[in-house]
A and B are shown apart, each in its own frame.
Chain A
Amino acid sequence: MDSAIANPHLDHDAAEHEHIVLPQHRHHFATEEQQREAGSFGMWLFLLTEIMFFGGLFFAYLLYRNWYYDAFVAASNQLSIPLGASNTAILITSGFFMALAVWAAEVRKKTLLVIFLIFTIVFGLAFLGIKYVEYHEKYEKHHIPGANFDVSEFINPSAYGLNEKPLPPDAAQKTQMFFFLYFAMTGMHALHMIIGIGLLFWLLARAQRGDFTNGYVAPIENFGLYWHFVDIVWLFLFPLLYLINRHPLAH
């Protein structure tokens, strides 16, 4: 690709004094600084597209929560706050370790970088593990939207030991809409996390080789941006999905 350019010194203009061309410097960039800024800018732009992508789901959520508030409350109360809150804490912790990893790369401490990346992965996997538990529970209770959806828990909550307001049957059907959005939004989020964890393994391997502790921090930094974005999306999802009209003594 850029190997077509024979002589890297061709593009140094007069103002630049001789200095070591950094190994990561791609030759279509005038300076490594330009490359770094471009990479960072590119990642921010990509995150902007992700905001628009999730935005469609948030818009659908807005609409249907407005239309079917009671059903959304009842359905939301089915989600486990302890699990959701734990996941929030876990993901924030994962983000914290990612931030530490960026720092470690910047101060060129390879072992720390590797450790922090591992912790980031571990907490990320923990998040996904809890999500699996939650999804499985929904599966068992027949709360996955579709042919097998069971509304009885919403029509007759007391029979299930729930201290909830019973819903009329047509409103109870609308809980499917909530659960669809729940699975779509958290599922899309989880997909982004899975991709992120995959990238983390790759970064881990390269970090272990020492690729990121000699001044070339950009991939860690830019991935950090992505990871924090995924974190922020969850910080919106959690209250919107788990905390609709919760009362302290309700559940």
Chain B
Amino acid sequence: MGISPVLWQFLVKWLNASALFPSEASTIAPYMDALYFFLLSITGIGVLLVAVLLVVFSVRYRKAVHPVATQIEGSTLLEATWTIIPLGLFLICFVWGALLYFRIYNPPVNSMNIYIVGKQWMWKAEHPGGQHEINALHVPTGQPIQLTMISQDVFHSFSIPAFRIKREVIPGRYSTVWFQATTPGEYHIFCTQYCGTNHSAMIGTITVLSPADYKKWTEESTSGMSLAQNGERLFASMGCNACHSGNAAARGPSLAGVYGSKLLLNNGSQVLVNDAYLRDAILNPSQHVTSGYTPIMPTYQGQISEDGLIDLVEYLKNLSSNDRVQQTLTTSQSDQAAPSASGVVKP
């Protein structure tokens, strides 16, 4: 062969490192790829059809062999054919795509929740157990994982191509996506919504571990306090416990067990108390007044970071009784009364 061995080596190394197709590392990936191949087939057939028509007609009816054109008005039958068949195919794509979309954006009930905060230009992942990661995410296989995401500044978008998932990360509201990883390994995390100077640097690695390895990792990398424990601390230090003390005559409603419940508001409407509701209630309390209470809660807009809000939300999610709230009432006059690390609150 005439190729220099150096060049050959270089080419081989280069081409081996280059992928033409992403690995399938989640449960949904094969479904996404199936739709992709269907769409590719339609496109291939469509382009082939057009190309064949162009070539065949060009050859058969070129001037040299077909000097006189026959004027034809049209054909309703053909019009109907090439309206209905493409429409039918596109509608199949619509239904299939819609089903896939609903699957990807509706997490199963037993999902483990991990919070993602995007900010210029890094990803912060916060596990409920208190593990914090930057531009990295460790997850186990075989467990549905929901990402609850929010941005601290501009639009970002969290993408894991190998899992075939992506969702915009928006300032001001939570967005969610879920996945279940299937194959241990390391995969790319990208920010895919242009967000300023270091948009291309806002990348990370998601490490998929076997359940055993994952358990080991959580134990090794905990910072000591779970999100909920941090939230409990904030709840006291920001004075929330003063009104939401759980006492009968308290100025604010008890928050124990409120997560997941259907709450009657003082404007007569009923809402489901989820993450978004809790976050909004802290920032815009006057629009989320529980029935029977007055709109006296101050807003914490600008006083808590998204991380802090996540801590509080996680705390409230797990709050089943007000006992510890009562305890911290008397100790929280100074703002650093932290409960012990091996607390009753579930990590």
> Is A169 positioned at the interface, with any CB of B under 8 Å from its CB?
yes
Q: A24 to chain B: closest CB distance in Å?
A: 44
Report B-chain residues with C-beta under 8 Å of the C-beta of A70.
Answer: 286
Could you mark each residue 161-183 of chain A with 1 if its beta carbon is under 8 Å from any beta carbon of chain B, else 0? Answer: 00000011111010000000000
CA distance A2 to B301 in the complex (A): 63
Summarize B's interface: helix, strand, loop or mixed. Answer: loop
CA distance A173 to B300 in the complex (A): 13
B295 nearest CB neighbor, chain A only:
A168
Could you mark each residue 280-314 of chain B with 1 if its beta carbon is under 8 Å from any beta carbon of chain A, else 0? Answer: 00011111000000011111010000000000000
Summarize A's interface: helix, strand, loop or mixed. Answer: helix
CA distance A167 to B298 in the complex (A): 11
B289 nearest CB neighbor, chain A only:
A168
Report A-chain residues with C-beta under 8 Å of the C-beta of B287.
Answer: 170-171
Q: B296 to chain A: closest CB distance in Å?
A: 7
With beta carbons under 8 angstroms apart, the residue of B286, B297, B301 that contacts A167 is B286
- Compute the total of residue contacts between A and B using a CB distance below 8 Å: 26
B284 nearest CB neighbor, chain A only:
A170
CA distance A70 to B286 in the complex (A): 10
Q: B115 to chain A: closest CB distance in Å?
A: 24
CA distance A170 to B295 in the complex (A): 10
Report A-chain residues with C-beta under 8 Å of the C-beta of B285.
Answer: 168, 170
Report B-chain residues with C-beta under 8 Å of the C-beta of A173.
Answer: 299, 301
Q: B302 to chain A: closest CB distance in Å?
A: 10
Question: Which of chain A's residues 102-160 have a Cβ closer than 8 Å to chain B?
Answer: none
Please state if B301 and A170 are interface contacts (CB–CB under 8 Å). yes
CA distance A170 to B285 in the complex (A): 7
Question: Which of chain B's residues 248-290 have a Cβ closer than 8 Å to chain A?
Answer: 283-287
Question: Which of chain B's residues 100-142 have a Cβ closer than 8 Å to chain A?
Answer: none
Could you mark each residue 66-110 of chain B with 1 if its beta carbon is under 8 Å from any beta carbon of chain A, else 0? Answer: 000000000000000000000000000000000000000000000
Could you mark each residue 11-48 of chain A with 1 if its beta carbon is under 8 Å from any beta carbon of chain B, else 0? Answer: 00000000000000000000000000000000000000
- Ranked nearest first, the 10 interchain pairs of A and B with the lowest CB-CB distance are A170-B299, A168-B286, A171-B286, A168-B295, A170-B284, A170-B286, A169-B299, A169-B298, A170-B285, A170-B301
Chain A residues within 8 Å of B, Cβ to Cβ? 70, 167-171, 173
